[in-house]
Structure 1
Amino acid sequence: MMDGERYFIFADKSIGRGAYSEVYLGRTDSGKFVAVKTACKRIEIEAIRGEVQILKQLCGATNIVQYIGCVHEKMPPGSVPAEKFSFAMEYATSSLEAEMRRPENLKGLPADMLIDLVVDCSMALSALHQKNIAHRDIKHMNILLFPGTPTRGRRSSTIFKLCDMGCSKALLNDSSHEMRTLIGTENFLGEGG
């Protein structure tokens, strides 16, 4: 099964690893570089399929990494793995984590960049809120940097986008159904977590 734009994966170009998947560099048929999240085990596949559903709901949100397409393959009987699932999303030039480690930023990000970071993250959270989605794993590693141009109201040439919807959850409109499960990255959980 295929959905969205076709892409291929550079299997020798791993660019990251998460709890449920590995991320590789890829390219669409139109030549655009993409990040491709892959999974082969049933539990991993279910986790990233949920992420795809969340990303599809957020299509067009300026400060959320955009979904490009997915492929779900059933392998021939007796094959290991029995199935493979992958999805492509926008490829970022850097992450907030990498930017913070640059020598010139060890004492903090430049003020113009910091202001745009706060504005862009606020817009990402607003987009999530409008769709009743809780991200549940916001941290510097899940904020990616994309090239942009300073425009009226923007101070830097960087656009910040929230990624990794793997822990995200669509909330019910009924506020009596609060989340009771502790989830996220251990070192980044709030007090009492």
Structure 2
Amino acid sequence: MEVQAKRRPAADYIERVQVDIMPNMCGILVDWLVEVAEEYKLVFDTLYLTVSYIDRFLSANSLNRQKLQLLGVSAMLIASKYEEISPPSVEDFCYITDNTYMKQELVKMERDILNILKFEMGNPTGKTFLRLFIRSGQEDKKYPALSLDFMRSYLAELSLLEYGCVRFLPSVVGASTVFVARLTLNPDSNPWSKKLQSVTGYRASLLT
């Protein structure tokens, strides 16, 4: 699924599609959305799907920078409905923007996102693969489990802020996160086992 064009953002959408949005603006938006996710205690998958929706929407539709926050909260509204048991309401997302946007504006943007993405809302993210790869590396006792978990999560969230990461497949991002976390915590040890290479399908040379 991750290689299907309909589920992938364009690697150069800011340069090719957008005329009023810069990469740093997307980073600021995602940083704020991390806080929104924490405020409403959303699962990590909701945040990752939100960023995926944003990137895919901006790959196909030019947007005024004044509407970027509206796109962000509307994308998170959709992702919440997809992932959460009790998602926040439209009113909650209006409130979190200090009522910058009206309910009708969020609902319209939600409709626009769904139409642009052709209702293809289920797609694997870096978090999907990270979760899978973590299970595969748990037999290795060279790394403190809690520290490794925090490091992987931190690196994975950093990738959401970086526009340059959009050109990589989610599985590459997930595998690279595991690789860098293990290397950081134990630089004197080989961070990539044969099992991880087999499960991920990536050699260490492709992740550095």
Q: What's the TM-score bracket when you normalise by the shorter of the two chains?
A: under 0.3
More strand by share: 1
Greater RCO structure (CA 8 Å; 6+ sep): 2
TM-score, normalization by structure 1:
0.28
TM-score, normalization by structure 2:
0.26
More helix by share: 2
